[in-house]
Structure 1
Amino acid sequence: MKQKLIGFWLTLAFTTTVVVAADSGLAYPPPLKPAGQEVKAARLAAELLSRFHYKAVPLDDALSSKMFDQYLKALDPEKLYFLQSDIDRLAVDKARLDDAILGEDLRVPFEIFNLYERRAVERMAYARSLLLKGFDFSGDETLMMDRKDQPWPATEADSLDLWRKRVKNDWLRLKLAGQDDAAIAKVLDKRYASAEKRIGKIKASDAFQAFMNAYTTAIEPHTNYLGPRAAENFDISMRLSLAGIGAVLTDIDGYATIRELVAGGPALLSGKLQVGDRIVGVAQGETSPLEDVVGWRLDDTVALVRGAVGSTVRLDVLPADQGPDAPLKTVVLVRKTITMQDSAAKAKVYSVATGEGKRLIGVITLPSFYEDVEGLRRGDKDYRSAGRDVARLLADMKAQKVEAVLIDLRNNGGGSLREAIGLTGLFVGKVPVVQTRNARGEISVERNINTGVAWDGPMGVLINRSSASASEIFAAAIQDYGRGLVIGEPSFGKGTVQTVADLDQIAKNTSPVYGELKLTIAQFFRVNGGTTQLRGVTPDISLLASGDAASFGESSFGNALPWTRIKAVDYVPVGQIAAQVPRLLAWHESRVQRDREYQGLVEDLAKAQQRRKNNVISLNEAKRRKERADSEARLSAILGAGGSSAAGVLADDGLQFNERKLSKDLAIEKTQKSVVDILLNEAVSILSDSAALKEGKTQMESSALSTRPVVVTSLPGEPMKQ
């Protein structure tokens, strides 16, 4: 998916000392320098990319120039920090980044990063200085929302004026939320000061990873470098498990704060921890000294809390809602395997009203095509995978006598190719699913040989612009075999296959210091010979597009692989869903024309598209108050009964996520989950219509009326027990 390191200082939470610049009085972080292992990792990655990438590109001056541009985009995508004079000066080294890697001397890319940090510190200091003056909101000033296509500020004065408007907008948002000037100044001063601190906590490894990803994505959008810690997190996301205490942590005011306790985890089972507790010290075992973690980067604290299954961790904890001088409590926990249940397949059964009663439609939501590769290699009988979880959910739905199944792949960015093939087999059987072509032009047909049909009734796939890669393989195969309906908006358009190369394994290191390289090695093609590359999967029935296709998706990348076609495989469709589409489309259009919620969403998306097109936001208080009132009224209408109360929870409070009380943040999250999913409801109704057609009915059912589908059962995607 599209990789953006937007506002690097906003997303990293890190600790180091600072140095004071004598010329400006500002406290700048000490210059970052590359470590020896990073220099070696860059050279090793370059050798692999030059030899084994699907689109092998020599590391030369031409690629160096592209790397330079990509690096600047990653560091300063909205052109908020660097000046044009900075870019002109840095461009002297534009053709030397290849030499930096091949010559094992990374001073140039680190100098670029260090200048970025200095500029960021300067902008935050200026932002804080503006808070002493306040603002006048009676004029007609505007702020440009998206600056990525704009030039860098020509002068220091231009940059300062840009930041003045940004701070003015931050102030206005808080003012519209009801805060007085003194409170606003306090909130914003703390926000910008915290940003300065985060800048000072960036490590050399972060700068190296940013540079390496500028290199990899300059070749092709889906090739990435993962440092040792990022590689560990990627592995966790694929197997959906980790060894730890079962607590989700967030950074609030420099404290690692418990945001959630995972069911069945040691933290919850101990009865000694609660949401809002702050971890201030961590020790390994029951006797080793505690390490003070207040003010640490959150990922550093998390690394200390995690450990081997069966090992002991000791925590010093400041109880929730108590001051920093309150007595601490010590909690000793034994780590165990924690399952990331929120990221697993889960299901709901919907009841749809018809003229003859009710029809049950099952919906399986799959966030990714996960697979515990190591568990599979070890031969674990209960290893976790998307296909195994979906198969169990389908069995549960059969028991509940659902009449059709919808697989919701919205925002599913992909995952395991093997899982995509196996999951397809649950609906089409042991047949060819996808073709792959490697860099040598060799074509392989990937068949499902492991899974039999688990569901032979009506089915559909719901996709959006963020459905990519493995999601597109599955949706395309279902469409090509005529097995089910594809509903939604055109998918992302990622038709490439990646593999992960462990650089430490290649270098025969015993400890992880070099990281991993995720590189593109093949392109996949549909069984009909086409590819989803660039164009994505086109739905049989289109719903509203929620995003801007021009700025998001494979087609938004300048160096994406082109669309092409190869010979189709010898395959036989297993269904004739295309024959249903004209009637289903007519029923769908009739239903949504009379659906006030759907038409309201049409209006909302049109307004959002117009705002993106205008690309400016008013800094006039009267105009913004009217816009806010209109937005809150619309939100209340969407939420229905009790909508005013819920709209109040969701109204823009002008705060960032770590500036609210945790209870408020959790309330917002809960309320967001209660918002009606209009597009899912329509997709469920379409599946109900499809089931009716299969039964031989030719008249539109009352599922086309205003009654929305109702959830009657939820089925969490628990791991299979054996």
Structure 2
Amino acid sequence: MTLRPALALLIALTFAGSVPGAHAQDSAAPAGAATTAPAPKYATLPLEPTATEADAAQLSARFLTRFHYDAQPLDDAMSARIYKKYLDQLDGEKVFFTQEDLAKFAPLKTRLDDAIWNKDLSGPFSIFNLYVQRAKERMHYALGLLPKGFDFTKDESYVVDREKADWPKNQAELDNLWRERVKNDWLRLKLAGKDDADIRKTLTKRYNTLLDRIKQLDGEDAFQSFMTAYAETTDPHTDYLGPRLAENFDISMKLSLEGIGAVLQARDEYTQIREIVPGGPAAKSGKLHVGDRIVAIGQDNGPMVDVIGWRLDDVVAKIRGKKDTTVRLEILPADSGPDGKHELVTLVRKKVVVEEQAAKSKVIDVKDGDVSRKIGVIELPTFYADFAARAKGDPNYKSATRDVAKLLTKLKADGVQGVIVDLRNNGGGSLDEANELTGLFIDKGPVVQVRKADGDVEVEGDDQPGLAWSGPMAVLVNRGTASASEIFSAAIQDYGRGLVIGEPTFGKGTVQNLVDLDRFAQTDSEKPQMGELKMTIAEFFRINGGSTQLKGVTPDIQYPKNGDEKDFGESTYDNALPWTQIPPADYKPVADLKAYLPQLTQMHDARVAKSPAWKLMLDQLAQYKKMRDKTTISLNYDKRLAERKELDKIQADFLARRKAIDGDAVPSNPDSTLDDGLNANERSLKSELKAEKEAKDAKDVELDETAHILFDAIGLIQSNPKLAAEVLPYGGKFSERTVAAAPTPAAASAETRTKP
């Protein structure tokens, strides 16, 4: 089954990806079986809201109706929009509810505002309870189809994209829809070479796993879903973060946590170690390994709690804890079967830095004829900052700007002549970090304008003299470049400081503030109860007065669009704020890149026209768009087999062309590019990690071309002093100064915590 938005909650539980969790240390204790501590109680229907959740909903409404940038009343009209968003959250593909179900919900359409103001969430919870019931019924129905199998000689088809479809009229129509879904699941496995017995086994396990995850949905999931619908109805980037999500968001911003330093994921009924974080307690102990399964957890000298079958976030919550406390893990080693000998590992929790999302650098050697140049690359996945450590005056607080400053120092020592800041798929983060990072590449001046709800405009900028890098630079962007990334890219472009290269960006031009609801509620608990509200409070504008809202940043040299712009980006939201404009800030461009932009564009066009790698990328992109636009597929075996063979030929051609270009840097298994009919968590962890490594090691055509463009720019500058005076910052006469590892402004406000 192709899992799409309709199963979003189930995916979140079943295929939770990777969650930073734990760490390990030596233990003299013998291995032993877990004791019988009680497991969490999952999904006893009906789920009911708590008084705390009702208070959190009403408190959120007070903030959203008074302090939101585009404050809207919570009335019947808003209720109708929340109702629609809530149903889309739960059943966006219309595969669980029927029109008969919706008729029962109809009276709630204009009562959800009353539910929030009156602190009576029984209505929203009744919708969620029926969602859980219907999801269970669908899994049982799917399992009931497997013993008989299917007739693939019929000329049937299946609609794979149901986002714009109607809900099934009744139970019979829903049953037929699921018969087609399950038949397609079976056919995909059959086309991948599986026999009927193997297919039956795989799908039985798949649907039972989903059924188990449905049973683990709880009241917090119900409340989170409803509040997400309300928050996102106000604007696309306002969100409610329940206690679970708030903790993970905080980790994503500060890139650290207190735990054992292991990345965990759910696989079957186990929690499995997916990655060991270097330098963490788990890595230092040498006792934990990728693929190990955690079967029980104990705190200090307390009882061991069996966690087989638990949802991932509950396991992670038991492993995380305060620094210098002890956690014991009972492990089933990766190379052991289900009846293998367990091992007991004792670890002391420490502060663990999540380096995967931290800034990284490398050097690309570009050669053209007899000329070679070193181009530095800084990859920045997010604009992170540890606000709490920074406010406390911790000299080692985590910061994107501090890390990039250090990397620039290293790149200069390596002798690079140009620097690329790679912001592809950087969804944003701290507005302050975007401001400070820009300051590493300009001397002094405004970076961004921020307009609040009252219309007041504040100009934020860099007031520290000096550049960490004064040479040629480029910013590489794509559709996933958003928010704080767009602030940085736009400022670099407006100043003429460097080239912006790639696809038009996301188009998010709003600022969010994190509101800790527990701070405003009279609760005695030290543990977070009410969650946080990530609320839009302002809009940011470029220093030239334009906005990135909706339009994003248009690159100076554009690469082909990836085809997702109709489904991904600010312009795809029906409630996005409009594009507006304000007067420009008082700034002066430091260079005029138009002096050599036409030459660079011409050289780029000539090079990619002759590039086999670029042509392959374009052909693969065209094939992807063709497949993506296909909304209906045949359920006839002969037709699908013919399509499969045609796709096999196309993939074989792509693979042969890649080998001719990259040689050994091509996946060793050509079948890895073909549909095996499996969901992500049904493949072995070893094969999954191998595929990820191959993708990571694959030739990055866009980055290589960006390095060549910068290579060309350096060549033009070196050969023409007059041109150099126009395109280099400050006329090429600015003497580079030593810049501290990071500026130390006043403690950052929560307004800087932005995410698209």
Shorter-chain TM-score: what band? Answer: over 0.9
Residue of structure 2 equivalent to 1:668: 691
Residue of structure 1 equivalent to 2:658: 638
Q: Which region of structure 1 is more displaced relative to structure 2, 162-171 or 495-504?
A: 162-171
CA distance in 2: counterparts of 1:346 and 1:636, whole angstroms: 32
CA deviation string 1:533-570 (max 9, x = no partner): 01110111110111321221111111110001000011
In the alignment, is residue 325 of structure 1 matched against residue 336 of structure 2? no
CA distance in 2: counterparts of 1:74 and 1:98, whole angstroms: 18
Q: Which region of structure 1 is more displaced relative to structure 2, 153-162 or 347-356?
A: 153-162
Query: Is the 2:366–2:375 Cα contact (8 Å) retained in structure 1?
Result: yes
Query: Is the 2:495–2:591 Cα contact (8 Å) retained in structure 1?
Result: yes
CA distance in 1: counterparts of 2:656 and 2:176, whole angstroms: 37
Question: Which residue identity does 1:567 align to in structure 2?
Answer: P
Question: Which residue identity does 1:377 align to in structure 2?
Answer: A
Residue of structure 2 equivalent to 1:145: 160
Report how far residue 5 of structure 1 moved: 7.6
Residue of structure 1 equivalent to 2:641: 622
Query: Is the 1:82–1:152 Cα contact (8 Å) retained in structure 2?
Result: yes
Query: Is the 1:259–1:275 Cα contact (8 Å) retained in structure 2?
Result: yes
- Aligned partner (choices 336, 346, 356) of residue 370 of structure 2: 356
- Aligned partner (choices 506, 510, 516) of residue 520 of structure 2: 506
Residue of structure 2 equivalent to 1:400: 414
Change (3 A) 1:614 1:451: farther
Question: Which residue identity does 2:53 align to in structure 1?
Answer: E
Residue of structure 2 equivalent to 1:123: 138
Change (3 A) 1:628 1:644: farther
- TM-score (structure 1 length as normaliser): 0.92
Report how far residue 608 of structure 1 moved: 2.3
Residue of structure 2 equivalent to 1:710: none
CA distance in 1: counterparts of 2:522 and 2:435, whole angstroms: 33
Residue of structure 2 equivalent to 1:25: none
CA distance in 2: counterparts of 1:250 and 1:55, whole angstroms: 39
Report how far residue 274 of structure 1 moved: 1.4
Query: Is the 1:258–1:274 Cα contact (8 Å) retained in structure 2?
Result: yes
CA distance in 2: counterparts of 1:110 and 1:39, whole angstroms: 11
CA distance in 1: counterparts of 2:87 and 2:457, whole angstroms: 37
Query: Is the 1:350–1:361 Cα contact (8 Å) retained in structure 2?
Result: yes
Question: Which residue identity does 1:588 align to in structure 2?
Answer: H
Query: Is the 1:257–1:278 Cα contact (8 Å) retained in structure 2?
Result: yes
Residue of structure 1 equivalent to 2:110: 95
CA distance in 1: counterparts of 2:673 and 2:630, whole angstroms: 25
CA deviation string 1:57-98 (max 9, x = no partner): 011000000000000111111111111222232122100000
What does 1:61-100 correspond to in 2, within 5 Å? 61-100=76-115
Report how far residue 384 of structure 1 moved: 0.6
CA distance in 2: counterparts of 1:104 and 1:273, whole angstroms: 47
| RMSD (Å), alpha carbons | 1.9
What does 1:105-504 correspond to in 2, within 5 Å? 105-285=120-300, 287-450=301-464, 452-504=466-518
Query: Is the 1:462–1:683 Cα contact (8 Å) retained in structure 2?
Result: yes
CA distance in 2: counterparts of 1:371 and 1:644, whole angstroms: 36
SS of equivalent residue, structure 1 residue 57: coil
Change (3 A) 1:301 1:353: same
Q: Which region of structure 1 is more displaced relative to structure 2, 644-653 or 566-575?
A: 644-653
CA distance in 2: counterparts of 1:111 and 1:105, whole angstroms: 11
Query: Is the 1:534–1:563 Cα contact (8 Å) retained in structure 2?
Result: yes
Report how far residue 576 of structure 1 moved: 1.3
SS of equivalent residue, structure 2 residue 110: coil
Report how far residue 241 of structure 1 moved: 0.5
Change (3 A) 1:276 1:610: closer
Report how far residue 343 of structure 1 moved: 0.6
Question: Which residue identity does 2:663 align to in structure 1?
Answer: A
In the alignment, is residue 568 of structure 1 matched against residue 584 of structure 2? yes
CA distance in 1: counterparts of 2:55 and 2:11, whole angstroms: 29
CA distance in 1: counterparts of 2:459 and 2:669, whole angstroms: 51
Report how far residue 184 of structure 1 moved: 0.8
Report how far residue 355 of structure 1 moved: 2.7
Change (3 A) 1:636 1:6: farther
Change (3 A) 1:444 1:189: same
Q: Give unpaired runs (5+ residues) of structure 1.
A: 19-27, 699-718
Residue of structure 1 equivalent to 2:8: 7
SS of equivalent residue, structure 1 residue 333: strand
- Aligned partner (choices 69, 74, 89) of residue 59 of structure 1: 74
Report how far residue 636 of structure 1 moved: 4.5
Question: Which residue identity does 2:629 align to in structure 1?
Answer: K
CA deviation string 1:591-646 (max 9, x = no partner): 11111221122122223223333322333332232144134312453354254624
Question: Which residue identity does 1:638 align to in structure 2?
Answer: R
- TM-score (structure 2 length as normaliser): 0.88
In the alignment, is residue 544 of structure 1 matched against residue 578 of structure 2? no
Report how far residue 185 of structure 1 moved: 0.8
Query: Is the 1:490–1:538 Cα contact (8 Å) retained in structure 2?
Result: yes
The alignment covers a number of residue pairs equal to: 688
Question: Which residue identity does 1:162 align to in structure 2?
Answer: L
SS of equivalent residue, structure 2 residue 364: strand
CA distance in 1: counterparts of 2:187 and 2:655, whole angstroms: 21
Question: Which residue identity does 1:344 align to in structure 2?
Answer: A
Residue of structure 2 equivalent to 1:24: none
CA distance in 2: counterparts of 1:192 and 1:268, whole angstroms: 35
SS of equivalent residue, structure 2 residue 440: helix
Question: Which residue identity does 1:532 align to in structure 2?
Answer: T
Report how far residue 345 of structure 1 moved: 0.5
CA distance in 2: counterparts of 1:500 and 1:451, whole angstroms: 31
Query: Is the 2:191–2:641 Cα contact (8 Å) retained in structure 1?
Result: no
Query: Is the 1:527–1:569 Cα contact (8 Å) retained in structure 2?
Result: yes
Report how far residue 138 of structure 1 moved: 4.0
Query: Is the 2:479–2:565 Cα contact (8 Å) retained in structure 1?
Result: yes
CA distance in 2: counterparts of 1:294 and 1:178, whole angstroms: 32
Change (3 A) 1:39 1:71: same
Question: Which residue identity does 2:352 align to in structure 1?
Answer: I
SS of equivalent residue, structure 1 residue 257: strand
Report how far residue 690 of structure 1 moved: 1.4
Query: Is the 1:426–1:451 Cα contact (8 Å) retained in structure 2?
Result: no
Q: Which region of structure 1 is more displaced relative to structure 2, 289-298 or 157-166?
A: 157-166
Identity %: 52
Query: Is the 2:6–2:93 Cα contact (8 Å) retained in structure 1?
Result: no
Q: Give unpaired runs (5+ residues) of structure 2.
A: 17-38, 722-740, 743-756
CA distance in 1: counterparts of 2:658 and 2:421, whole angstroms: 25
Q: Which region of structure 1 is more displaced relative to structure 2, 128-137 or 591-600?
A: 128-137
CA distance in 2: counterparts of 1:373 and 1:488, whole angstroms: 31
Change (3 A) 1:646 1:458: farther
SS of equivalent residue, structure 1 residue 645: coil
SS of equivalent residue, structure 2 residue 578: coil
CA distance in 2: counterparts of 1:153 and 1:623, whole angstroms: 31
